[in-house]
Chain A
Amino acid sequence: MKTGYKIAIILFIGLVLIAAALSLGTRTILPWDIPRILLGGPGHVDYTILVKLRLPRVLLSLVIGASLAVSGTVFQSVLKNPLADPYIIGVSGGAALGATAAIVLNAGPFTVAVAAFIGSIAAITAVYMLSSRLRLGSTALILAGIALGFILSAAVLLIYALARTEQIHRAMLWLMGDLSGARYDMLDGLGLVSLLLVLAVMGFHKHLDVISMGERFSKNLGVTEGNIRSLFWLASLLAALAVSLAGVIGFVGLITPHLMRNIFGPRHLRLVPAAAFGGAIFLLVSDALGRLLAPPYEIPVGIVTGFLGGVFFLIHMMLREKPE
C-alpha cells in the first residue's frame, strides 16, 4: 500500500477515535453536536462536561501517549535494544519514590507531580553519572538502570510497609497510571514542552537512523557522544514529564514504536511522527475504555494499556509470522 494511503487511513481512524472519546461517558454527547455545544458557550451542562472534564483528559492522554511513544522510540534506537522502553533507565522508579513519599505525606496532586518529576530527574542523573563514560548501546547503562530500579522499588515498598492503608491505596492507583486528575493548568506547560521535545527529537531523525545500526557504525559516520547524550536527555525528559503527570503507564512506550516500525519502516523521519501519533491514540483509547468498561468505577489506564497492548501485540505477531 502506498504510504500516502496509510497515513490518510490512520489519520482518519485517529479523528474518529478522538470524537468517540469526547462523546462517550456516563452522559453521551453525540459527535455532531460537539461543534454546536462548543460554540454555544458556557452555561449548558454538556458544555461543562465537554470543556472541563473530557477535553482536558483527551488532550492529556494524547500528549502523554505521544511523549511515551517517542521516548521509547529514541531509547530503542540509542540502546539498540527492542525491549527498551521509556522506563528502562529508572525514570519510573524515581518518579514512583517521589510520588509515593508525597502521597504518604498527604500532599495534593500538584505536589505529587512535582515530587515525581524531581524523583525521576534524580534517577536519570544517577544512572547518567553511574555509566560515567556514557557508553550507551553497551549493556552497562541498562544494567545500571535496572539496579537502580530495584533499589528504588525497595524504597517504595518500605514506605508501603510503614504507611497507612488509604494512603497505600492512593499511591498504588498512582503507580498504575491515572489520567483522572487532568486539568487545563497541567496542559499548557506540559503540552508545549512535550511538543518542543518531540520537535527536537525530529531534528535528530538522521542521527537516530544511523545510531540504530550500531555504536561503532554511527561513530564512523560522525555521530558524536554529545549527539547521543542529547538524545538520552530528550528521551528521558519526555518520559519524566509523562510519568510525573500520569503515573507509570506501561506498554505504550514499548509497543507503539515496534508496531509503527513494522508499518512505516525503520526511518525515523516517518517513525518518530508515526510513533507520536500511534502512542497518542493508543493511550486515548485505553483511557476511554478505562472510563467506560465498568461505570461508575474507573479502571486505571495503566491496567488497560497492559491488557490491550499485550493482546494486540500478540495478535499482531501471530499475523506477521509468515509460514515458511
Chain B
Amino acid sequence: MNIFELKSVSAGYGGAPVIEGLDLGIDVGEFVSIIGPNGAGKSTLLKVLSGDDLLMAGSVLFNGRPVREYRPRDLARQVSIVHQTIEAVAPFTVHEFIRLGRFPHQPAFTVESDGDREIIEWAAGMTGVTGLFTRHLTELSGGEFQLVRIAHALAQNSRIVILDEPVSHLDIQHTVMIMDILWKLNREGTTVVTVLHDINIASDYASRIIGMKKGGIFFSGTPDEVLRYDLVEDLFGTPCIVMKNPTTGRPFVYPVPGYVK
C-alpha cells in the first residue's frame, strides 16, 4: 500500500513553483534514493512529504488522507525528517537532544514514561551513540552529530524516516556507518526516503532510485533499471560509464573527465 501518494503536485516558496506536475507513490518498506542536479527540487519534495505547507497545486496523501488535514503533532508521530542542516544548536547534551524526539508523543506536564525511555535507549543503541550521552551537541564532530540527529529522528518515530543528504561532507567511515544503519532499519521495516548526491551510494543501498530534473521526475526504478550510461548522462549532463560494483553487484557510475556538457 502506498503511504505517500502525490498527484500532479506543484510546490514552491511563493513565486515560480520549484516542483511542477509531479506524480509519485511511495510504498511501505521501500528504500527510496532521490538523485539529480542541484536545484532540481529534491529538498522541496522531501519537505512536501514531511508536511511543510508548500503545496501550490495537486494533492499529497499520507495513508490515504491529505497531509494538510493532519494535526502537526499526529504527523510528527509518524514521519521523521533529518534536514540537511540544523538551524540553531542550543547547548543540549546528546541525551537531552535525543529525548526531544519524544516531544510529539508527550502531552504537556507529563513525564517521560518507561516506554519513552526504552525507545530512546533503542534509538541510541541502533545508531551507536549511547557512549556520547553526556557530551554536548557543540562538542561533537560532523559524523557524530549526524548519527545523533538520526538517533533523534528514530526516537521520534521509526516507521518512516526522511533524510536530506545525510552523508554529504562525511568521511567514508561515517558514510558507510550511516548508510548501513539505514539499510538495517529498512530491513526491519522502516520506510526510508533520502536525497543523496553520491549516485554509487544510492545504487548500493536503495531499492528504488528516483532521478529528478527541473522540478519533475526524470526516471524512477531499481538501480539496475535506471542507472544506465545514457540516462545518467541526460540527467546530469555529464558523460558516464557504468560498471558493476564488485562487492554489491549494483551498478557503479563513473563520470568521464573532460566532457561535461
Which A residues are closer than 8 A to B by beta carbons?
80, 137, 203-204, 206-207, 209-210, 212-217, 219-224, 261, 265-267
Contact = CB atoms under 8 A, between A and B. Distances in A.
A83 to B, nearest CB: 14
Nearest to B79: A220
Given A80-B88, A267-B96, A224 B108 contact: no
B237 to A, nearest CB: 31
A224 B91 contact: no
B90 A213 contact: yes
Contacts of B109: 203
8 contacts: A80-B87, A80-B88, A137-B87, A212-B90, A215-B87, A220-B50, A224-B73, A265-B96
B193 interface: no
A74 B81 CA distance: 26
B88 A266 contact: no
A213 B89 contact: yes
Interface string B70-107: 01111111001101001111111100110011011010
Given A206-B108, A223-B72, A267-B96, A216 B103 contact: no
B72 A222 contact: yes
Nearest to B89: A213
Size bracket of the B interface: 20 to 34
B72 to A, nearest CB: 4
A213 B108 contact: no
A266 B92 contact: yes
A222 B100 contact: no
Interface of B: 50-52, 71-77, 80-81, 83, 86-93, 96-97, 100-101, 103-104, 106, 108-109, 156
A216 B100 contact: no
A73 B71 CA distance: 28
A266 B90 contact: yes
Contact of B91 (A203, A214, A265): A265
A265 B97 CA distance: 12
Residue picked from A209, A220, A266, A267, most chain B C-beta under 10 Å: A220
Nearest to A209: B100
B79 to A, nearest CB: 8
A137 B88 CA distance: 10
A274 B81 CA distance: 33
Given A80-B88, A219-B52, A210 B100 contact: yes
Contact of A222 (B91, B97, B103): B103
Contacts of A266: 90-92, 96
A221 B90 contact: no
A137 B90 CA distance: 14
Cβ-closest 5 pairs across A and B: A214-B87, A222-B73, A222-B76, A222-B104, A212-B90
B88 A267 contact: no
Contacts of A206: 103, 106, 108
Contacts of A265: 91-93, 96
A267 B76 CA distance: 21
